[in-house]
Structure 1
Amino acid sequence: MTSETQGCRGGIMHLPRVTIPVVACIFLVLAVSSAGFGQAVFGNITGTVTDPSGAAVPNAEIAITDLDRGITYTTRTTSEGNFTQTHLLAGHYQVKVTAPGFSEFSASTEVQVDATTRADAQLRVGKAETTVIVRAETPLLKTDRADVSNTLTGNEVEQLPMLNRNVTTLVLALPGSQLNGFQHASSENPQGGLQINVNGQYFYSNGFELDGTENHSNILGIAVINPNPDALEEFKVTTGNYDAEFGNVSGALLQGTTKSGTNQIHGSLFEYLRNDKSNAADPFTSLKPP
């Protein structure tokens, strides 16, 4: 084996023999990296399919359709009636379950980033032409993980009052958060990220991710990119019981997911103005001393 480049023989350039294992290693690294990247970007749908008596229905066909993008994923239940579909982008989904001798089951649900959505189905005996439609409801208790988190949809981010249209100000609405005593100068922090202490931890202990990639400045301790609120599909803040993949966070973990392509084109136009003429009067300035 040699690493030296061989010359042309008969007009054909012979690549060094070490090239093949090097290229194989590069592809392996890229494959592993993409799998790890997906853990923080995607969500999952899992569930159990049963018959009217509560017994598991094996080998039932599951069709999960992304209503926002028109993509359908298919899988089947195991011998215990369980199914799981991973690597789903955040959005609205329709879950259809079909099995011989049972009516078709259909339910609508929502997938969030770095979260698992349950979509259990109890089939009814009947013909395949009959469809049972169920409206999914958000469970009151999470049973698949113990993290303490709050997730805002893109519509909620747009509607909530937000000082200077700065997404990081939403963290101040959570229990245990406090604005740090000093803030970075605008010259070194042009995007206006705030230093917020959470659960008694200094703001350097917070973590930031944008579309599954690291978004934390190790020098300033704030987000490198502070996204425009209109560009966010979801905004999730976790303040406790983080997954092991976020082991470097002890304060708050802020995860933003930007909107991806759809069949429609959207935009926004706004003007932000604050001055003494349009602001409400300070009630304390009109008080007259006795």
Structure 2
Amino acid sequence: MDQRKMARTVFLFAVLSAMFAANLFGQGGGNAAITGTVTDPSGAVVAGAQVTVTQQSTSVKRSATTNASGNFTVPSLLPASYSVTIEAAGFKTVAQTVTVLADQIRDLNVRLEVGQSTQQVIVEAAPVLVNTITPVLSQVIEQSRVEGIPLVTRNAADLTLLVPGTTSANGDGVQQGDTKQIAVGTRSVAESIAVNGARPDQISYNLDGANNEDLMSNTNNPFPFPDALQEFSVQTNSFDARYGTNAGAVVNVVTKSGTNVWHGDGFEFVRNKIFNAHNFF
């Protein structure tokens, strides 16, 4: 192979690798985004405003600049609480705390006040969480419910049934009997669920952006146990075409990430028949 062909091959490989990497970065299951428009007191758009998004638990910063239409987007954010600041010459700096959930695109429209950039306006009122960006019908099972709702088997997959349109389909043949189920001991950790009338094996399960399905039954591989799980979203209608492998639903599971502070927790899980209620007779 001459040098020209080799250089062409290397260049083509580099281009394809970059496209593949960008695709992975944009498609991480469970990632969130903050988008919005910045305007002045008259309602005119403000181009060139600096938007800084800082994750509160890690101090990691992301930034964006508003375009000619005053719009900005900060994509691929981990579900977490963020401090958002907007700065522009001739206007007061606006600061606001925003919490984004798994697969959420948070719409944040900001009106700046005329003044020095050293002056700061702190927005404390939380806007109503209405999705005006995408047509996706979804619900997030957030950390408070993961940790607070009793789980008989400590299998967080059971919480999927909290979402409207879902129903349990265990024992309907999807798990192919007791010999082919994913199990820990004698307990199955797969949860067959039917959504909006679709087949129970028509749900895409993703864990931190990677496929999390059993290839035999197309049900979920084990979820992380509740203490390691941050939250998960269940999309039941009009989800993005990138999730086109299944027609029923998309479940994106997000595990907890690190923070700048040492922390931990503990639990005790007791199951004993002496605690069971007895038949009166």
Shared fold per TM-score greater than 0.5: yes
SS state at 1:165 partner: coil
The answer to whether the 8 Å contact 1:40/1:114 transfers is: no
Q: Which moved more, 1:61-70 or 1:205-214?
A: 61-70
Partner in structure 2 of residue 122 of structure 1: 111
Partner in structure 1 of residue 87 of structure 2: 98
* 1:270 to 2:267 alignment: yes
Unaligned runs of 5+ residues in structure 1 are 3-15
Partner in structure 1 of residue 126 of structure 2: 137
Identical pairs, percent: 33
Q: 2:255 & 2:6 partners in 1: Cα distance? A: 38
Q: Which moved more, 1:33-42 or 1:58-67?
A: 33-42
Partner in structure 2 of residue 250 of structure 1: 247
SS state at 1:164 partner: coil
Q: CA deviation at 1:266?
A: 3.3
SS state at 1:203 partner: coil
| Aligned Cα root-mean-square deviation (Å) | 2.3
What does residue range 33-44 of structure 1 map to in structure 2 within 5 Å?
Answer: 33-38=20-25, 39-41=27-29, 42-44=31-33
Q: 1:121 & 1:238 partners in 2: Cα distance? A: 29
Larger radius of gyration: 1
What does residue range 196-211 of structure 1 map to in structure 2 within 5 Å?
Answer: 196-211=193-208
In structure 2, give the amino acid aligned to 1:286.
Answer: F
The answer to whether the 8 Å contact 1:154/1:230 transfers is: no
In structure 2, give the amino acid aligned to 1:141.
Answer: V
Q: 1:169 & 1:118 partners in 2: Cα distance? A: 31
- TM-score (ref. length: structure 2): 0.87
Partner in structure 2 of residue 190 of structure 1: 183
Relative distance call for 1:156 and 1:260 in structure 2 (3 A) is same
- TM-score (ref. length: structure 1): 0.84
Q: CA deviation at 1:52?
A: 1.3
The answer to whether the 8 Å contact 2:195/2:248 transfers is: yes
SS state at 1:277 partner: helix
SS state at 1:36 partner: helix
Relative distance call for 1:163 and 1:35 in structure 2 (3 A) is farther
Partner in structure 2 of residue 9 of structure 1: none
- How far does the alpha carbon of each residue in 1:186-240 deviate from its partner, in whole angstroms, 9 at most, with x for none? 7741251111122122211111001111112231121224221221222111111
Q: 2:4 & 2:228 partners in 1: Cα distance? A: 48
SS state at 1:40 partner: coil
The answer to whether the 8 Å contact 2:204/2:251 transfers is: yes
Q: CA deviation at 1:133?
A: 0.6
Relative contact order higher in (CA < 8 Å, ≥ 6 apart):
2
Partner in structure 2 of residue 75 of structure 1: 64
In structure 1, give the amino acid aligned to 2:178.
Answer: A
Unaligned runs of 5+ residues in structure 2 are none
The answer to whether the 8 Å contact 1:113/1:234 transfers is: yes
Q: 2:254 & 2:70 partners in 1: Cα distance? A: 32
**What number of residue pairs does the alignment pair up?**
271
In structure 1, give the amino acid aligned to 2:111.
Answer: Q
Relative distance call for 1:258 and 1:33 in structure 2 (3 A) is farther
Relative distance call for 1:17 and 1:163 in structure 2 (3 A) is farther
Q: CA deviation at 1:82?
A: 1.1
Relative distance call for 1:263 and 1:85 in structure 2 (3 A) is same
SS state at 1:172 partner: helix
The answer to whether the 8 Å contact 1:62/1:98 transfers is: yes
